[in-house]
Each structure stands twice: as C-alpha cells, then as structure tokens.
Structure 1
Amino acid sequence: MNTNINNLPEFLDVTDLQNIANQFFKALPENFPKEFSLDPTKHPKAQGLAEQVLENMDTSVITMPLVNPSLGTHTPPSLGGLGASSSAVLPNTGSGTDATSLNLPLSTNPLYTSGVPNSLAGSGASPSYLSPRNNFNSEKPETSFQDDNVGVSKQQLPISGHQPTHLPYLDFQLDELADFLNIDNVLSHIKTVENTPQLPSFQESSSPNGFYFLENSAYNQKIEYTSFGNLGELVRKDFPILNEQVNGKRLVWFDNAATTQKPQLVIDRLSYFYQHENSNIHRAAHELAGRATDAYESAREKVRAFLGAKSVNEIIFVRGATEAINLVAQSWGTQNLQSGDEIIVSQLEHHANIVPWKRLADQKGLVLKVIPVNNDGELLLDEYAKLLSPKTKLVAVTQVSNALGTITPVQQIVAMAHAAGAKALVDGAQSVSHMTVNVQAIGADFFVFSGHKVFGPTGIGVLYGKEEILNATEPWQGGGNMIQDVTFEHIKYHNAPNRFEAGTGNIADAVGLGAAIDYVTKIGMEVIGQYEHGLLEYATNLLRPIDGVRLIGTAKHKASVLSFTLKGYTNDEVGKALNQEGIAVRTGHHCAQPILRRLGVETTVRPSLAFYNTCEDVDRFIAVIQHLSRQKR
C-alpha cells in the first residue's frame, strides 16, 4: 500500500484522521485521559487507531469508528486481558507485532455484549419479590438499566479428576529467565485464536437512558499466550498506585501477600456503583434497587464460575477469609462438634485458621491436632495420616502458606479427611491470586478467600460451602434478609446463601470483587501463575547466594513468597532500607508464629510477588540486599 508523508495510506489524509479522532473523543467520558493530538506524526496511538479501522473496513469509504459509543456513559474499561490501560496501546516490539497488527479492540471488556433486558423495576415489585433468591437468573436480570456486571457469558471451570497442586516448574538458568521475562519478547508470543471479525455494528438502545450497546460479541477475542514475556510491564499500566513515588523512587510493591493493589477497572467499577446503582438490595420496587441487586448477584455468579462451584447458592459474601472461617466455626462447628471430637490443622496455618478452632476447642472440649512440616516447610503427609481417626471431624488447612509460600497438596489432604469421615475446609486466601482453583476438583466442603488478596476491594470475601451442608447448618447471625418468616414464636430461615448474609452486606465491594475477577480471568490464571513462577525463580536464584541471607521456606512447590533473614541486621532494619529505595515489603511474624518458630525464627523479611512485578523490580530489591550484605556489621 502506498503511503503519504505522514506514513498513512494515500487515500487517508490528516483531515480524515482528525475526524476519526474527534469522533473517538466524543465517545470518551469527561475524565478519560485524552492523550491524542491533531498531529498524527506526534501521536502514533491515533495513527494506530486509524490503521486498525482501515484493516476492518472498505478502504474506499471512510466511515466511523471502532470505538464503542457506550464509553460515553459507562466506566471506561481497560484493555484488560493484555494489561494495557484504556489510554495506551501495547508497545511496538520492533518486530512488526504491536496492538494494531493484533486487531485488538479499544474495549476488550466482555460486558458490552448484549442488549438491555426488559424492566421489572417500574412494575411496583422488587426483583427479589418477583424472583426469589434461589431462582435468581443472572442471565436475565430484572431491570431496564444496563448494568456493566450483567449479561456476561458464563463459563464454568472444567471439573477434572486431577487438579494440579503446584505451579509448573520452569527449569531455567538465570540468563534464560531474564530472557523469558523480557518485555521485548512478549508480543511475539501472543496470537489471536479466532480470526479477526469485521467491525460489529452499533445500535442505539430504545431505553430512555439513551445508552448504547454492541449487538454482538465479535470483539470478545480469546488471547492465547504460547509463552510468556514480561507480563508485568504490560499490566502495571492498569494499576495507578504503581506510579506512586516513595522517597523519590518509583514504588515497587512487594507486599502482595498482605494485600494486592487494585486495577483502574475495579476503582472505576466502585465509583460507577456509587454514582449510578447505590441502593440496598432485594427489598424494593424502585429502579436503583433493581440495578444494585443485579450487580450484586452478578458478582456472586462471577465468584461461582471463578471457583468452579456448582451453584450460586454455595457462595456467601463475608468480610474476608477470617470472617468466613469464624462463620464455619461458630455455625457448623458449634452445631456439629461435641466434646472429645478432633480438629486437625497444620503448622503452616495463618492465625485466622488456628485461633477460631482453638477457641471452639476450649469452649466445647475438643482436641486440636497439628500436621507437622519438614525443614523446608512442606507438610508431612505420612504424619497427617497417623493423626486421622474416627474422632476426626474437621481438617482445616491452607492451600498456600502466607509466610513461606508453600503450596500444599489440598486434594490429597481433603480426600484423606473424607476417607476418615471428616469434613474439610481449605483456606484459599493466598492461592486464588496465583493459580486456578476449582472447588469441585479439590473436593473441599468449605473454601474461603479474601477479595483484597485477589486485586479486589478490602472488606469483602467469600465462603464457599457445599449447598447441602450449608442448608443443614444454623446461621451464625440473625437479622434482616436471611429470614422467610418471623413471628414472636417462630423463625423460618432462607436457604443458603441468604441465611448467612444477615443485614445489609458490603454490596459495592462485592461488585468490585466481581470486576477484579473479570480482570484476572481475562488475563488467565494459568498465564499469571506461569509468569509469577518464572519471576520467583529469577528472584530466588539472585537472593540465595547473597552472603548472610537465609531463606525461610524452601519447599519444592511454592507460590511467589520469599521469606528471609539477613545476618547482622534486624528484619525491621532491612525493611526500612528497602523502603528508602521505594520498595515495600512486610516484616514481622506475618500472623503465622507457629511455622516461623518451627523453622527457628520469630520474624522474617517477606517480599511477595504479583503479576504486575518485573525483573527490574527484583533487580532493585536485590541491589539493596547486596549493599547491606557488603556493609554488614
């Protein structure tokens, strides 16, 4: 194709490009970053947009754009699965593979894929009145307002007889790891599985709100990573806090085991809820109640799919993993455990999976037994088998240790518990952000996690429980929303999940958790796990040889946690030295004193990695530890 002086096709002049850009601007929210210029030679993003349009249209006619007009009224989605923000296209690798040649949409968000359903909101009855909780159908939400969290096609995670209990081991040397994690390689390893479709048509909604929507989902392409480049460089653009300066240095967030940072998609979703949907749920006939109910119950469905649960009735929203474990202890445990019964936990547990059981044991005369670990921080399953007996009623274990990163064989642990006639609870607070989880494959009776550990808001978490167990369990708290009928003589409770969600829940943050799940699912948990494991191997191989460093927790199968001590320094001194360079790590006992004491320490320095971290982040961290080692007292 012949090009003009601006490196554009001959039939497209600057005026045409300006028209396209102007129409693009009109489709953006007022607060959307407008980084374009009328001069395309200075802003290749605008040129890239034009080229992408041209690739999918009759070049003899310049028509409008690729941009979804709904962006003018909805929260701007990011480029989601590829980790690039809405205001930026993927960087050109120099090898001819960039965002334009991939035909990636400006909105890869799958939420804009269907029309607006008919309303029940104006009929004088609330959605929960006309459609009781247990019959809620998130595919057919009962409101006229287009909710960004409704209408997504749901795909249940596959259920197999085998669920991997560890991330794939990458047998790389340091130089190979560096190459593996290099930003210059990533786009050459990305391919679109489906053929690029023609531009979908746009249609104005008949809704009085005047919203627009896509008629089809032609741009919901699946992206397959055949190998992995520097995912961290791509996705960090989506996390605004990672642009913070600490002591004049760009922030490196290595405190992910304590809490993860939030992508703009989640921040925007929370803001959108409070601007357009804020209401209590289930109990009103007005429009906002319908919007809020749809958003909340859609988030429940997203969690169900994320965990591979059978039914949304098995998903209970709580404040976090800690509250979820306490709920099981104070409801199922109080109801089903008797003096002399035994509970088994492991030495790896966070205090949240020890204290509730110890308190219950003290209250009811139960026996608490502990699965020991070896010197690498791995569970000794032979010793676990010896602890099991007919008196064992519950086994409660973590899937990933927050202090060491050890990945435990939860499928085997659960199967052994069930063979002994016991129930099993798995603490997934540290696993859901690193690996695919399928509760049916694991077989656990209960599974818990916290939203803030998986890039969602704080103050929201999930208890999964098998439906038949939940419905046979007395509720922990009483109040509104969890009852079918109340008199002064009799109370009839709802079935799960409502029976365990008394009062007004954390509606907005549940919706935010749904957005976080959308985000990581779009990237792919397998992709995240592979990348993080490569980064962990890279960091471990650099940290281990440093004089004075002692790694705490050296299990063969680990998630991305690097606990260590440095001879000659207190852990707080190491943490402060890292903070001076803008690097955030956790120091202390990490609410896991038993396992640290088993390994001979009271506290450690704990860097913990996420998929938005990079080799550059690791190099900055290693440089500080090397400097301290050379200056050791």
Structure 2
Amino acid sequence: MVKSDLIRQQFPMLAQDPQLVYLDNAATTLKPKPVIEAIESFYSKRYSTVHRGVYWLCQQATLDYDQVRAQVHQFIGSKSDREIVFTKGTTDAINLVANGAAKIWLSPGDEVLITHTEHHANIIPWQQVCNRIGCTLVVAPVLPNGHLDMVEFKQLLNANTAFVSVGHISNALGVEHPVKTIIELAHAVGAKVLVDGAQSIAHQAIDVQALDCDFFCFSSHKLYGPTGVGVLYGKKQWLDALPPYQYGGDMIDTVTFEKTTFAAPPMRFEAGTPPIAQVMGMGAAIEYVQGIGLDCIAKHEAELLSYAYSTLPACSGLTIVGEPTTGIISFTLAGIHPHDIGTILDSQGIAVRAGHHCAQPTMKLFNVSATTRASFGVYNTTADIDALVRGIQYVQSVMT
C-alpha cells in the first residue's frame, strides 16, 4: 500500500508547498530527497571523473558509477549489465538504435513499423532513416478508443518488416499497448523490436527478458531521477553488432591516425565524459521506487485512474480523449482552448500539460489541435483529483 502522506513529505517541492497539485508526471516527475542527496553528496564529498584515473577518488567514483549499471540490469531483468547503455535519455537511445540499424540492418525496400500514437521521438528518427536509405515507414492504425488495432497490426507484418518500434504506453492517451504480443508477432516475421518505455518504467515492473524485446529504453527524469541521463537496453548480440553512434574518448581500444578500434558495448556507445552525477541520482531513484514497490505503485495509480473516471464527469462539456488504461488522462472542454485551461488551472496551483504532447499525429487522429493532460505519480492522491475537478469547474466559470 502506498502511504501518500508520508511519500509527499519525501519530496521537497511538495513539503514546502503542500497545496501544489502536480499532475504533469508524464512530462517529468518531482524528485525525492534521496535522489537530491545522492547528487549533492557526489558533488560535495566524492566528486571525480570515472574510468580515467588511478587515484582513490576516481576509483571510488568509478565503482559507484558502475554499480548503477548493475543496478539497472537488476531493475529491468537483463541478462548482464553489459547490455545496459547509459544515454542522454529516451530520445537519444532511439536515435542511437535507428541510426545504427540504418547502417547494418535496414536496406532499400525494408519496412519499419510504428503505431499511430507514437511520441515524435519514436517517429522522426525512423522517418529520417527511412527517407535516407529508401525504406518505408509503415504506421499501424488504432481503434477509435486509441487502442492498437491488432488485426491490422498483424496484417501489416510481412517479410519486409525489418524493425518494429513501439511505445509501451502512449504519452498522449495513457493507452498501454500489448507489447508482449507485439514482440512475439514481430519476431515471427524476423523483425527486431524496440520498446519505448518512457511512460511505463516508473509505473510498473519491467522484465526485458520476459518481454523478449530486442531493445528497451527509458529516461531517468520520468523515474523520479535527474534529467540528462537515460538507459538503452539491448540484447548482447545486437549491441555487439551495432557500430558506434558518436566518437571520442573512453569508447575506444586503440587509436592511430590511420585507424581506430572500438571498445565492446556498452562503452562503445558512451563517448566522452558521462553525466556522472546524474547516473548516481538515477541509481538513487531506482532504489527509491524499489523501496515502495512497483506493484504497489501500479495499484495506487490504477486506483487514481478509476477515481478520476468517476469524478471528472461532474465537469460538463468534458470529453476524455481515448480510453486510458494507465494514469494519464487527456481531455478537452467544449469551447475552451487547452492553453487557457492550463493557464487558469495554474492560477489555482494545479500543474497540467496543455498542447499536442509531442504527438501531433495523435491529435490529428482525434480531430483536435491540443488537449489538456493530467498524469499521475506515486505522490498523487484523490484529493489532487478533487482539486482538478474544482479547478476545471472554475475554468468554466471564468471562460463561459
């Protein structure tokens, strides 16, 4: 059971401003004390670079840094910590895979299959790669409720499908895709699969071996950790095959003016001085959510979603876009622009997202230019949803 009152005290922003109703967790999460303290402690007590020195500070920082890689390996159930690559975030990870795939796995005439409700970060890299090498970007349709049309998805898979890249949960709709089934179907035609786990990693337990995905990626900042760091998981044989994405220090074996040989994964993909403090913070964030329990978090957020579904209809003219299955709700209010909704809610101490959510094709599909989005985290309560309902009613009183 999630004890929200105690949890809220662990987040300095909520402790200093108990009236803050923060409902923009799909964009980024607030940070608990252990994460902030881990970063502060590294900078103030044991700061050093990693992998580059024999002195004690460097050796200790390297041990701590590498321990987080092992921690991520355990957290998502990979076979080895050598399958864990630190990236700048989800977007960086998808670009790494897409550009690497373009060099070794994709050929003219091949197809890359995505869904209609992807984040721009899982559209544009594949779109640009396909345009560059003559592949076809195929878009699997969704049903009127925003859920993937699995009949159509199966029909789109064929011998030309080389890659499938799918968001685990739609950031714009809160719809969870059946990724286990998607992976099985894709593998049956010989396609590799990347799962964008940005919206699932903080909300449910992930086991990449059970999923059998070829790649899985996520960002720390949506996991109650710092910005600037994320993770790419890849099966060892695929990481071994991928060429470097960027070039520089620490990702090499030997360098001459004529030739360079590259390190084995994951170091091959981590050129330059890494975001060391951010990695330490991500480790603290993982430890934090594990301490609460991902199953407990998932149950808590499911209860919040159910409560929101029962209370939001009190707002006349409110339409929920799609049928969310996770703690993300996008909605419209008749006659009121989402930017106005977001601005007025902000005046009431309520933080939501208003816009197209980096998912313009999804907005177009539902014939809207934008929506207002409320998204839940571990520290949210039914009182936050009650405040949202009152806030929406206040918006209506101001705008109508």
Q: Answer yes or no: same fold by TM over 0.5.
A: yes
Match of 1:584 among 338, 351, 358: 351
* Whole-angstrom distance in 1 between the partners of 2:215 and 2:313: 37
Local SS of the residue matching 1:503: coil
1:487-511 Cα deviation digits (max 9, x unpaired): 2233221111001011111111011
Match of 2:286 among 517, 527, 531: 517
Supply the AA of the counterpart residue of 1:570: H
* Whole-angstrom distance in 2 between the partners of 1:490 and 1:590: 44
Q: Is the 8 A contact 1:575 1:586 kept in 2?
A: yes
Confirm or deny that 1:337 pairs with 2:106.
Answer: yes
Confirm or deny that 1:620 pairs with 2:392.
Answer: no
Deviation of 1:630 after TM superposition, in Å, equals 5.3
Deviation of 1:621 after TM superposition, in Å, equals 1.0
Deviation of 1:387 after TM superposition, in Å, equals 0.7
Local SS of the residue matching 2:287: helix
Choose 564-573 or 526-535, whichever is displaced more. Answer: 564-573
1:509-546 Cα deviation digits (max 9, x unpaired): 01110000000001100000000110111012101342
1:138-197 Cα deviation digits (max 9, x unpaired): xxxxxxxxxxxxxxxxxxxxxxxxxxxxxxxxxxxxxxxxxxxxxxxxxxxxxxxxxxxx
* Whole-angstrom distance in 2 between the partners of 1:554 and 1:295: 43
2:41 is matched with 272
Match of 1:319 among 84, 88, 105: 88
Deviation of 1:231 after TM superposition, in Å, equals 2.5
Confirm or deny that 1:406 pairs with 2:163.
Answer: no
* Whole-angstrom distance in 1 between the partners of 2:158 and 2:387: 50
Query: Matches of residues 385-404 of structure 1 in structure 2 within 5 Å?
Result: 385-404=154-173
Deviation of 1:259 after TM superposition, in Å, equals 0.3
Query: Matches of residues 360-379 of structure 1 in structure 2 within 5 Å?
Result: 360-379=129-148
* Whole-angstrom distance in 1 between the partners of 2:46 and 2:64: 8
What TM-score does the superposition give when structure 1 sets the normalisation length?
0.62
Supply the AA of the counterpart residue of 2:390: A
Deviation of 1:366 after TM superposition, in Å, equals 0.7
Q: Is the 8 A contact 1:231 1:611 kept in 2?
A: no
Confirm or deny that 1:256 pairs with 2:62.
Answer: no
* Whole-angstrom distance in 1 between the partners of 2:331 and 2:267: 44
Q: Is the 8 A contact 1:548 1:629 kept in 2?
A: no
1:573 is matched with 340
Structure 2: runs of 5 or more not aligned: none
2:366 is matched with 599
1:215 is matched with none
Q: Is the 8 A contact 1:334 1:360 kept in 2?
A: no
1:294-339 Cα deviation digits (max 9, x unpaired): 1110111111111110101000001000000001111233222111
1:191-250 Cα deviation digits (max 9, x unpaired): xxxxxxxxxxxxxxxxxxxxxxxxxxxxxxxxxxxxx3x6221201100011344xxx82
Q: Which runs of 4+ in 1 moved over 3 A?
A: 627-632
Local SS of the residue matching 1:544: helix
* Whole-angstrom distance in 2 between the partners of 1:360 and 1:488: 30
* Whole-angstrom distance in 2 between the partners of 1:270 and 1:626: 41
Deviation of 1:417 after TM superposition, in Å, equals 0.6
Over alpha carbons, which structure has the higher Rg? Answer: 1
* Whole-angstrom distance in 1 between the partners of 2:27 and 2:394: 26
* Whole-angstrom distance in 2 between the partners of 1:624 and 1:282: 51
Confirm or deny that 1:439 pairs with 2:208.
Answer: yes
* Whole-angstrom distance in 2 between the partners of 1:308 and 1:429: 17
* Whole-angstrom distance in 2 between the partners of 1:298 and 1:291: 11
1:234 is matched with 6
* Whole-angstrom distance in 1 between the partners of 2:85 and 2:27: 22
1:298 is matched with 67
Supply the AA of the counterpart residue of 1:341: D
CA RMSD, aligned part only? 1.2
Local SS of the residue matching 1:250: coil
Q: Is the 8 A contact 1:244 1:251 kept in 2?
A: no
Q: Is the 8 A contact 1:260 1:453 kept in 2?
A: yes
Bigger proportion of residues as helix: 2
1:229-275 Cα deviation digits (max 9, x unpaired): x6221201100011344xxx821110100000000000000000111
Structure 1: runs of 5 or more not aligned: 1-227
* Whole-angstrom distance in 2 between the partners of 1:262 and 1:334: 38
Supply the AA of the counterpart residue of 1:438: D
1:483 is matched with 252
* Whole-angstrom distance in 2 between the partners of 1:333 and 1:540: 43
Bigger proportion of residues as strand: 2
- CA 1:284 to 1:632, structure 2 compared with 1: closer, same or farther past 3 Å? closer
The structure with higher relative contact order (CA 8 Å, sep 6+) is 2
Q: Is the 8 A contact 1:586 1:605 kept in 2?
A: yes
1:25-68 Cα deviation digits (max 9, x unpaired): xxxxxxxxxxxxxxxxxxxxxxxxxxxxxxxxxxxxxxxxxxxx
Local SS of the residue matching 1:449: strand
* Whole-angstrom distance in 2 between the partners of 1:313 and 1:268: 27
* Whole-angstrom distance in 2 between the partners of 1:490 and 1:254: 51
